[in-house]
Structure 1
Amino acid sequence: MKVAITSTGSTSDSKLDQRFGRCSYFVIYDTDTGETEFIPNPNKDVTEGAGPASVQIVASRNVKKIISGEFGPKIRSLLDSLKIEMTAIRDPEKSISDIVSMLDQQSISNI
């Protein structure tokens, strides 16, 4: 399964970005193959519409789950309609490698 993780940077040591639509990077992690791809978020500095535009980015990569610190109410309904699961982790100190380990151990639950 492909999972998108919001990230503050482009390495596995980067922290979980607490903002979904305006995160710095999306990490696409494939739980089946272990492959990881870092994608810069072109919506991080837009004045409006960052959330829906960011949903399109991750949906186009066949993501089935998104992990971030926060999801706005409009994003929740959009992700529900696309059948993309959401997981909120409100710990800005968690690194991408921490989250990948949690996914590998299946110790993350949806919201």
Structure 2
Amino acid sequence: MKIAISARGKITDDSLDPRFGRCEYFQIYDTDVKATKILNNKGIEASGGAGIAAANQLIDEEVDVIITGSLGPNAFEIIEKADIKAYKCDNIAISEALEKYNNNELEEITIAGKSHNGMHN
């Protein structure tokens, strides 16, 4: 299983970025090989549709789960149609977010957050 986490940095001690479409990196942890792959988020460079670009990038990586702060309406719809589970997590270390996921302590994202309309946070 592949778990993608929106991240502020490239190591598991770095913190989760609550922004999905505009996070700097995605850390993708593969539970089968117990390894993490770091991706530069393609959405960060988009003038609009950052969530869409980020969602499609993670679909291309064949992730099963996303851990982030929230998903905008467009990203949420794409993720939902791809049958990827998404979970909400606070701004904590990536390693802690994975631990909370493994302990079933994260809330599933079942509705989209507000639209940002191309805003940069």
TM-score when normalising by structure 1: 0.88
Aligned equivalents of 1:52 and 1:25: distance in 2? 15
Task: Provide the alpha-carbon RMSD of the alignment.
Answer: 1.5
2:61 and 2:42 mapped to 1: Cα distance?
Answer: 15
Alpha-carbon distance in structure 2 between the residues aligned to 1:95 and 1:74:
27
Shift, 1:77, TM fit:
1.3
Percent identity between matched residues is 34
What SS is found at the alignment partner of 1:44?
helix
Structure 2 match to 1:80: 80
Q: CA deviation at 1:42?
A: 2.8
Alignment match of 2:106 (pick from 97, 100, 108): 108
What does 1:17-96 correspond to in 2, within 5 Å? Answer: 17-89=17-89, 91-92=90-91, 94-96=92-94
Aligned residues: 109
Name the CA distance, whole Å, in 2 between partners of 1:45 and 1:61: 19
Q: Hey, which bits of structure 1, 4+ residues long, moved more than 6 A? A: none
**Conserved in 2, the CA contact under 8 Å of 1:31 and 1:103?**
no
Q: Does residue 99 of structure 1 match 2:97?
A: yes
Stretches of structure 1 lacking an aligned partner (at least 5 in a row): none
Unaligned runs of 5+ in 2: 110-121
